[in-house]
Amino acid sequence: MAILKILHYPDERLCRAAKRVELVSEVTRKLVRDMAKTMYAAPGVGLAATQVDVHEQVAVIDVSEERNQLKVFINPEIIASSGEKECEEGCLSVPGIYEMVRRAEKITVRALDENGQSFTLEAEGFLAVCIQHEIDHLHGKVFVEYLSRLKQIRIRAKLKKRLRETM
C-alpha cells in the first residue's frame, strides 16, 4: 500500500469532474486501499480520488472514533435529501482552514462498494456532511466555493503564502 500525494487548493486539478467507474476491478481496489491508507495517515475522515489526482468516482470515509469503519463509495449518487444544517468543515486539500457550510441534514446515497455491489445508505449528522463533501470533490468542487468571494480570496492568499514558506 502506498501513501498518495494530496493536491492542495487552489490546484486546478481539484476542479476536474471525475468519471464513473465502469468496472470495479483489482485496480479500483488497490486505489481504495491506497486512498484509505492516505486518509488514515493524514489523518482525515474522508478522501476523494480527485484529491490524489485520480479522476474516477471513488471516495473513502471513516468517521468512527476507533478508525475501523471504512466506508467505500464508488459512483456515489445522492438520491434523496432533506433538511438543512450548518456544520464546520475542513479538508485535507485545504489544510488549516475550517469554515461553516450549509448542507442537507439527511441524505440517502446510492453507490457501489469495493466489490462492485450496489448499496444504499441513509445518513445524517457528520457522516451526511462528509458524504456530501466527498461527492462534491468528485464533481470538481471544493468546500471553500460555498463561502463568500472575499473569504475565498483570503484562503487562496493564505495557502499560497504557506506554500511559499515551505518551499
Residue 131 makes contact with Ni ion by CB under 5 A: no
Piece of 18-26, 83-91, 113-121, 152-160 that binds Ni ion (CB under 5 A): 83-91
Query: What span, in angstroms and rounded, lies between the C-alpha atoms of 43 and 45?
Result: 7
Residue 32 makes contact with Ni ion by CB under 5 A: no
Q: Closest separation between CB of residue 91 and Ni ion, Å?
A: 3
Would you call 11 helix, strand, or coil by DSSP? Answer: coil
Clarify whether 65 is annotated catalytic. no
Exactly one of 4, 49, 91, 129 binds Ni ion (CB under 5 A); which one? 91
Q: Closest separation between CB of residue 143 and Ni ion, Å?
A: 6
24/47 with CB nearer Ni ion: 47
Cell numbers linked to 95: 489544510
94/112 with CB nearer Ni ion: 94
Residues forming the active site: 134
| Contacting positions for Ni ion (CB under 5 A) | 91
